[in-house]
Amino acid sequence: MKTWIAFPRVEGTASRQAHADLPAGTYEREIGREGFFGPASQLHHRHPPTGWTRFDGPLRPRAYDLTKLDRAVASPFEAPVVLSNAACQIRLWRPDGRMEHLARNTDGDQVLFLHEGRGDLFCDYGHLAVRDGDYVLLPRGTAWRLDCDGAATILMVEATNDAFGLPSKGPVGTHAIFDPAVLDIPRIDEAFLDQQDEREWHTVVKRRNQMTTIVHPFNPLDAIGWHGDLAPVRLNWRDIRPLMSARYHVPPSAHTTFLAGRLVICTFCPRPIESDPGALKLPYYHSNDDYDEFIFYHKGQFFSRDNIHPGMSTFHPAGFPHGPHPGAYKTAMEYARKETDEVAVMVDTRDFLDPGDLPEGVEVPDYADSWKAKPAAE
């Protein structure tokens, strides 16, 4: 385990506290390692670090309007891949109503986030009713199917060859952010027992991104009970109570929901905006060159972005500074809004993400230009 070289210093004109009381006329940018967990420095710039005029080359911020991925597919493994690497797959799935087969992902743990819709999830362990805003964490190798009450939209995040767990809550204690007691598990209830039958069932198994179908002359979801400490869990964002400070903008790492070896899932929930006059009131410009960042916008107005609506996503690969849009920065620093109403899912990955092969029109053109400040005359 390496020890980072530590030498806290102050050079030139700088604030005494990160993210607060910036020198007049400056813009703060944090350069950090290991996401927001490693050593970091805050630089004070004369101009917004995102004040570029153009990008030439494949490295650029991207935005996707995932509402345009509107084709329903029966299997979650047929859902289009938005971004992926060797340790993670991010897909957007629109179920085709009731699944007539079982799915089993043996490539890694699978998290489902229900953006729209409701229904019933049946798995090896029993039955879970699900609704919009639910996370469902499915341990690797769990057989499951989903019966949706009409249309649904689901963000899928796979920890390839890995498992999701809960982050350490540190000094705030295990009951902070959300109490583990709010996690729901599948039940062997009447709905689960009623779905058991003796007809032929197919189980589609994903292994190394290849599909194998196992056929049984009965429903393999035929358990009558179980005991132990391994099972899917359900968490709704409405049960998350975010960490916050009136005097300091806490980093995204404080909003970590699930954690794997090479990626984290964070949830941004409604909260009061910092009220201290000197505090930054939105995410600071930052260069975290050890992680790529994906954000899916579920609900509300994302307070550090302009022209983003629910169902969209953004992708900010490592390699350039990113942060709030000019209009959002101005609104926040004027304290024009006193609280956020956003709900968003962020996935930070330790390895470079590759964009998927998405249909024409899904990627938002010229997203990189959205940081350009408008001329004063406008």
Cα gap 26→46, rounded to integer Å? 5
Count CB-CB contacts under 10 A for residue 209: 11
- Token pair, residue 375, equals 């001329």
The secondary structure of 98-159 as a DSSP string is: B-SSEEEE-SEEEEEEEEE--EEEEETTEEEEE-TTEEEEE-TT-EEEEEESS--EEEEEEE
Give the residue ranges of the annotated binding site for homogentisate. 322
Positions marked catalytic? 249
Give the residue ranges of the annotated binding site. 286, 292, 322
Long-range contacts of 197-204 (CB under 8 A, 24+ apart): 201/101, 201/102, 202/101, 202/102, 203/101, 203/102, 203/103, 203/104, 203/143, 204/75, 204/77, 204/101, 204/102, 204/103, 204/104
CB-based contact 77:99 (threshold 8 Å): no
**Residuewise pLDDT in 10s, the chain (378 residues):** 788 888 889 999 999 999 999 999 999 999 998 888 889 999 999 999 999 999 998 999 999 999 999 999 999 999 999 999 999 999 999 998 899 999 999 999 999 999 999 999 999 999 999 999 999 999 999 999 999 999 999 999 999 999 999 999 999 999 999 999 999 999 999 999 999 999 999 999 999 999 999 999 999 999 999 999 999 999 999 999 999 999 999 988 999 999 999 999 999 999 999 999 999 888 889 988 899 999 999 999 887 787 899 999 999 999 999 988 888 888 888 888 889 999 999 999 999 999 999 999 999 999 999 988 664 444
In which element (H, E) is residue 11 found?
none
Same fold, 27-63+239-371 and 71-164+180-237: yes
Give me the residue spans of the domains in the chain. Answer: 27-63+239-371, 71-164+180-237
Helices then strands (H, E): number in the chain? 2, 22
Cα gap 246→194, rounded to integer Å? 51
Q: What pLDDT is recorded for position 378?
A: 42
Give the residue ranges of the annotated binding site for Fe cation. 286, 292, 322
CATH superfamily ID and name for 71-164+180-237: Jelly Rolls (2.60.120.10)
CB-based contact 81:354 (threshold 8 Å): no
CB-based contact 188:126 (threshold 8 Å): yes
The CATH class given to the 27-63+239-371 domain equals: mainly beta
Q: What pLDDT is recorded for position 282?
A: 86
Q: How far is CA 264 from CA 58, 163, 251, 261, 350, in A?
A: 25, 11, 13, 8, 9
Cα gap 280→22, rounded to integer Å? 9
CB contact burial 14-51 (16+ within 10 A = b; e otherwise):
bbeebbbebeeeebbbbebeebbeeebebbeeeebbbe
3-state SS class at 249: coil
Q: What pLDDT is recorded for position 304?
A: 79
